[in-house]
Amino acid sequence: MNDLTSRRSSAIRNIMLLAAVFFMFVGPVLNIFGNLYLNSTHLYLVAVLAFAFFIRAMREAKVGLDYGLVFSLWLVAFCYILLVTMFVADYSALFDFLFMLCAISASFMLAKLFVTYRPNDFLEVFFRFCFYCCIIWAVTIFLSYVFPSFRAWMDLLFFRDDSRGEHLVMLRVPAFHPMGGDGASLNFSLLILIASGYLWFLSGLQRFLVACALVVCLLTSLLSARSGFIICVPLLFASYLLAFRGHLVTKVMGTTLVLVVLMFSYIWMSPSFESYMYSSVADNGYEHPISRALITLNQFSRGGASATTVGTLRQMIIFPDDTADLVFGSGEFSRYLRSSFDRGGSDIGYIILLNGAGIIGSIFTYLIFIAPVFALFFARSRFIKKNAIAGDNRVVALLVLMMIFSFVGHFKTMYILTGYFNLMYFTSFFVFMSFLKNVNLNRARMGADNDVAYC
């Protein structure tokens, strides 16, 4: 009876953790109210976890050095943004920074829940649940595209923001998000990159199938937009290299062999592929998800983006005219700079943040996301003195890949200030830090020779 009760309790905890990951990282936007923020389920969960965190912090009178580091950097950036915006009353970025604090606190609390409920294998469980969420997301996108009736049912159940343009809602496949486009694609691709850590715990056929499933998930992200796919492809290959055991030369040779096979396969099918691409564009238009997906794959095969895309990005690289605005910031975080009204403005996150916060504020902001990588690296050096297992290096490398993803994605939009990214990034950081501390604790108790390998 006790064994049955224990298994039921474990199952309930697993369901709770999976639901927490799904509602925080995927964040379905339900069609209940008429306001986007009132419909976003991840905001409610963040509020609950952040409140629980502050209650826990007040009761225990401590939060840990890892949280203290991130909070200190956030406080510096927040105070600077508050200073430069108080004279122009543009509080859009200030609200993003306020939510960032809630996201950091909720991420810390979610990581602690994993450590508390699954103390022996929380890292594997975290990656596994991220993988499950990727599968749910990919299946939903695929069914929404293939079956119009399922798409109509999804549109009734989940909120759609028509104000951002008909092509993002009617042609793209939003799935759980309020619209298709860069945001949905970037968030889905980042979750796929995190879920690739699940390969560390698998072997043989199971590892191969999971790796293929992640590639299929990444391909389905093209039905929302191509930005996340373009950024994630090289980073996902790098993550796959981390997953396979063996010498680095062996990994590189194996990956090169796979790429050569794929390249020759594409060359063999290239004539029919390009013919189908042109006919799809002619029949469905450029904004159709299949057309954009085929164009993206064709650009990859030719070694880069189109001249139109590069030219558009170049036009958006607009610096402030005033030297003071360039250094200290104007306090306005609009996509339109004072010198860009006749050029259409800029969607580049670096330019928008540079205009609003200047060079100084941008540095303070970026340090919030760069510092966790160094903190994780130095924590590994501190906790793991001898006989470091492979997983110790991999958690640092995976967080580096996530940081690269976010900084490249920030070139397309203000990605590093979005709630979904903050939740995924900081939760991963706190889980990885807990993993390093847990490895060190196991060694202290059992000795280095009896450690459990998390690979």
- Would 270 be classed as within a structural domain? no
Instruction: Report how far residue 217's alpha carbon sits from residue 192's, in angstroms, rounded to the nearest whole number.
Output: 7
Tens-level pLDDT at each residue, the chain (455 residues): 467 677 777 888 999 999 999 999 998 988 887 777 788 889 999 999 999 999 988 887 777 889 999 999 999 999 998 888 877 766 778 888 999 999 999 999 999 999 999 888 899 999 999 999 999 999 998 888 878 888 888 888 888 877 666 656 666 778 888 877 788 889 999 999 999 999 999 888 888 889 889 988 998 888 887 788 888 988 998 888 887 766 555 656 666 666 666 566 655 555 555 554 555 544 555 455 555 566 555 555 555 545 445 555 666 677 777 777 788 887 777 655 555 444 456 678 788 888 888 899 899 999 999 999 999 988 887 766 544 555 578 899 999 999 999 999 888 778 898 889 999 999 999 999 999 887 665 554 555 444 444 43
Per the listing, tokens 């990885």 go with 432
Phi-psi region at 196: left, alpha or beta (left = phi > 0; alpha = psi -120 to 50): alpha
Residue 251 CB neighbours (<10 A): 16
- Would 264 be classed as within a structural domain? no
- Would 351 be classed as within a structural domain? yes
- Would 263 be classed as within a structural domain? no
Instruction: Report how far residue 138's alpha carbon sits from residue 277's, in angstroms, rounded to the nearest whole number.
Output: 23
Residue at 323: amino acid letter: T
Residue 278 CB neighbours (<10 A): 13
- Would 116 be classed as within a structural domain? yes
- Would 234 be classed as within a structural domain? yes
Number of domains, the chain: 1
- Would 266 be classed as within a structural domain? no
Question: Which domain range does residue 323 map to?
Answer: 2-245+306-450
